[in-house]
Structure 1
Amino acid sequence: MAVSRELLLVALLVVFSCDLMAVSGQKFNALYSFGDSMSDTGNLCVNGAPAGLTLTQPPYGETFFGRATCRCSDGRLVVDFLAERFGLPLLPPSKQGSADFKKGANMAIIGATAMGSSFFQSLGVGDKIWNNGPLDTQIQWFQNLLPSVCGSSCKTYLSKSLFVLGELGGNDYNAQLFGGYTPEQAAGQSPAIVDGIGSGAEKLISLGAMYIVIPGVLPVGCFPIYLTLYQTSNGGDYDQYGCLKRFNALSQRHNSLLQAKVSSLQSKYPWAKIMYADFYSHVYDMVKSPSSYGFSTNLRACCGAGGGKYNYQNGARCGMAGASACGNPASSLSWDGIHLTEAAYKKIADGWVNGAYCHPAILS
């Protein structure tokens, strides 16, 4: 039977588009996420909400879920938007034993660090680490899931899955800063922290990972919690956008070393697609030009009861009695002074998928 040129052309276009989809990474078996409070979708709360944890109270989760879900935002996080973008379910927490993890799992947990407890004990700040979920432990949680996910053919399955390794490192610096270290002293530990993240990436590659996003840390000198706790009367301590320069310099040092680490991994594993996600530049661009992103405020927390310039106060944080959210969270960059709004996370996810803030972009 003769086939018309039109049908043949359609068939070729379908084949071409499928090949293009495979090459560009638009189709993944699953999404596996590691990290801290920027990514946790419920691990810390699987066995019940820890006492005194405000993020289990309204107005957390109000924008999308209509309830608090143990996410540190008013709604979805970057990993949620990535899952939606690739047609995958929102990631179940890995500690939720009854869940189906074949399409993905989230090992991230609030308070997590790149380094293990002995690292912080050696620095005299072991008391500042309050949960047991460092990167090595998260990778062990992941390995424990694998028999139910892919049986004996894991390398093939994982080679077609997307891995997001962080953000990690932020709490490694918080432990030091809140333990009395200066930003400059904390920066002295950056090589070890970055090596820890790199080792984690190599472990995942050895398990079969081929697509790995490795995010840097954020410009914490622009966050209300730092701006409040470390505010000074010296104008020279701030950049032209109102951010604390010393704290952003710490983030920049970490990110510079991490980019070099990612470049090294790219050379060592040329068959894998290892991507550096530039959290810092994207969020700093939002601080510099909030109106370009639809924000009317950039250095002020949407949710809190502290008032003041940054609407942040440790004793009156979001979720505490008397705290409330601003009328339109989508107009704010910062949600609770420590974490970002759903609106910001959506823009960040878009920037990783096909924008200028992931090198190379996930869909490049």
Structure 2
Amino acid sequence: MSSSIIHVILSLLLVLYRPYAVAVSAGQAPGCYKRLFSFGDSITDTGNLGIVNPNISALAFPYGETFFHRPTGRCSDGRLIVDFIAEELRLPFLKPFLAGKTVEDFRHGANFAVAGATALSQQFFGDMGLDVSGIPPFSLDVQVECFKRVLHMLGPTEQERKEIMSSSLFLMGEIGGNDYNHPFFQNRSFRADIKPLVPKVIEKIENAIKVLLGLGAKTIVVPGNFPIGCVPTYLTLFQSNNPSDYDAFGNNSSDYDADGCIRWLNDFAEEHNRALRLMLERIVPRDDPKVTIIYGDYYGAILEITRSPLKHGFRKDVALTACCGDGGPHNSGTLFSCNATSVLCPDPSTHISWDGLHLTEATYQFVARGMLDGPYAVLSILSKCKH
């Protein structure tokens, strides 16, 4: 699907929505934010890709088995980080943008994240020579354009749009991980092709944040990347016979006895996160004390439960093993290995990884709590509610 087709679809959607446009209520929602809007990829997607492609694995058992007891298009056994944030704010689960039909569908926000999405455009990766058939044409720029259309639908006047922006919470990602995943999985050179993408990805995230700030956003959460060296799919893809390639977190730890995470991959994730934090520090508006940009430390949260799984209710013997997979090393050998015939663990709540690439509901809940209350957010999301 080309970008021009996407814009035609969006234009048609906007025309269809116009009859339903109404003024935004001035009444305060039960939580400290009236609405939640999210952008990103499969870490945040609550069903958009499933609408575009009804054949994806996340629309088949055992996805969704834990909480929803059915597949919902979420790449997990249950709820995602964005779901737990919505619950804490006493907001309903966000409607996937592509599933919405009326203003009422987006009364409390919308989810623009699409599984597989990138910060950079699909065309960018096509120009790199990548097979883009697995890269949806919903890059971060496209998602932000979708948001602007919903914003105008919700707020017909500039004053209403400013009220919407100032009273909403924005979750910007995680986004950028797939910009590295797609070339990694297509065997592109790390040093020549993948590592140089970092400043380009950061620039796209910066541009999206600036658009939201320009529209009047006051609170934006921007998560970093996960420690990809601890991800079962990567552990299988880049397995090594050299012990020095791994960080076993100390062999004397009674709480951890796995082989460890791949150092160079985690170093790369940290490089991305450092660049992201520096960018956030640079663009925080100094002349508007009401603006808060929160860095979400997904890396630190996952590293904590990987290093000390027992402390947080996870099994130490499967800290680096997928709950649902192909039975190979780390129970993860392919990108989409989880289906009805997969090797499925008896209790996903004791596993960190769900399908080798995505995380379990229990893991997402741990990360969400660390974002809401700390210590895995600077500042915590709820800190603004206490003022």
Say whether the fold is shared (TM-score over 0.5). Answer: yes
Indicate the residue corresponding to 1:219 in structure 2.
Answer: 227
**1:97 maps to which residue?**
100
Q: CA deviation at 1:126?
A: 5.1
CA contact (8 A) 1:223 1:299 kept: yes
Cα gap change, 1:315 to 1:80, in 2 (>3 Å)? closer
Distance 1:221 1:102, change over 3 A: same
2:376 paired with 1:360: no
Task: For 1:183 and 1:130, locate their aligned partners in 2 and report how far apart those are by CA, in whole Å.
Answer: 19
Query: Are the equivalent residues in 1 in contact too, given 2:39–2:143 (CA < 8 A)?
Result: yes
Contact 1:117 1:129 in 2 (8 A): no
Tell me the distance in 1 between the aligned counterparts of 2:285 and 2:215.
Answer: 18
* Structure 2 residue identity aligned to 1:307: G
Question: Which among 313, 324, 327 is matched to residue 333 of structure 2?
Answer: 313
1:27 is matched with: 32
Contact 2:64 2:78 (C-alpha < 8 Å) held by counterparts = yes
1:163 counterpart residue number: 170
Question: Post-superposition shift, 1:148?
Answer: 2.9
2 CA distance for matches of 1:114 and 1:42?
19
Q: Distance in 2 between matches of 1:324 and 1:141?
A: 38
| Residues 1:251 and 2:269 aligned together | yes
3-state secondary structure, aligned to 2:284: helix
* Contact kept in structure 2, 1:183 and 1:247, CA below 8 Å: no
Local SS of the residue matching 2:277: helix
Find the residue that maps to 2:90 and give its secondary structure. coil
Q: Say whether the 8 Å CA contact 1:38–1:167 is kept in structure 2.
A: yes
User: Is 2:213 the counterpart of 1:194?
Assistant: no
Distance in 2 of aligned mates of 1:127 and 1:65: 32
Give the CA deviation at 1:98.
Answer: 1.9
SS at structure 2 position matched to 1:276: strand
Deviations 1:69-127 (A, max 9, x none): 00000000000000000010000000113251010100000111011123223433253
Aligned residue runs from structure 1 range 1-364, under 5 A: 27-47=32-52, 49=54, 51=55, 53-98=56-101, 100-125=105-130, 127=132, 129-152=134-157, 153-185=160-192, 186-241=194-249, 242-268=260-286, 270-296=289-315, 297-304=318-325, 306-314=326-334, 317-319=337-339, 321-364=340-383
2:129 partner amino acid: G
1:155 and 1:267 map into 2 onto residues whose CA distance is 17
How big is the shift at 1:270? 4.2
**CA distance in 2: counterparts of 1:309 and 1:81, whole angstroms:** 31
User: In terms of mean alpha carbon deviation, does 138-147 or 55-64 score higher?
Assistant: 138-147
Pick closer, same or farther for the CA change 1:29–1:308 going to 2, 3 Å: same
CA distance in 2, matches of 1:94, 1:158: 17
Amino acid at match of 2:95: P
Does the CA-based 8 Å contact 1:316-1:322 persist in structure 2?
no
Change (3 A) 1:207 1:172: same
SS in 1 for 2:345: coil
CA distance in 1, matches of 2:213, 2:324: 39
* Per-residue deviation, 1:267: 4.5
Q: Which amino acid aligns with 2:275?
A: L
Counterpart Cα distance in 2 of 1:207 and 1:42: 26
CA distance in 2 between partners of 1:298 and 1:183 (Å)? 26
Distance, in Å, in 2 between the alignment partners of 1:138 and 1:316 is: 24
1:95 match: secondary structure: helix
Q: Which amino acid aligns with 2:292?
A: K
Distance 1:141 1:248 in 2: 33
Computed over aligned residues only, the root mean square deviation of the Cα atoms, in angstroms, reads 1.9
Q: Are 2:57 and 2:336, in contact at CA under 8 Å, matched by a contact in 1?
A: no
TM-score, length basis structure 2: 0.83
Tell me, what secondary structure is at the counterpart of 1:156?
helix
Identity among equivalent positions (%) equals: 40
**Structure 1: stretches of 5+ with no match in the other structure:** 1-21
Length, aligned pairs only: 337
User: Once the 2 structures are TM-superposed, how far is the Cα of residue 150 of structure 1 from its aligned partner?
Assistant: 2.3
C-alpha contact (below 8 Å) 1:36/1:166 kept by paired residues: yes
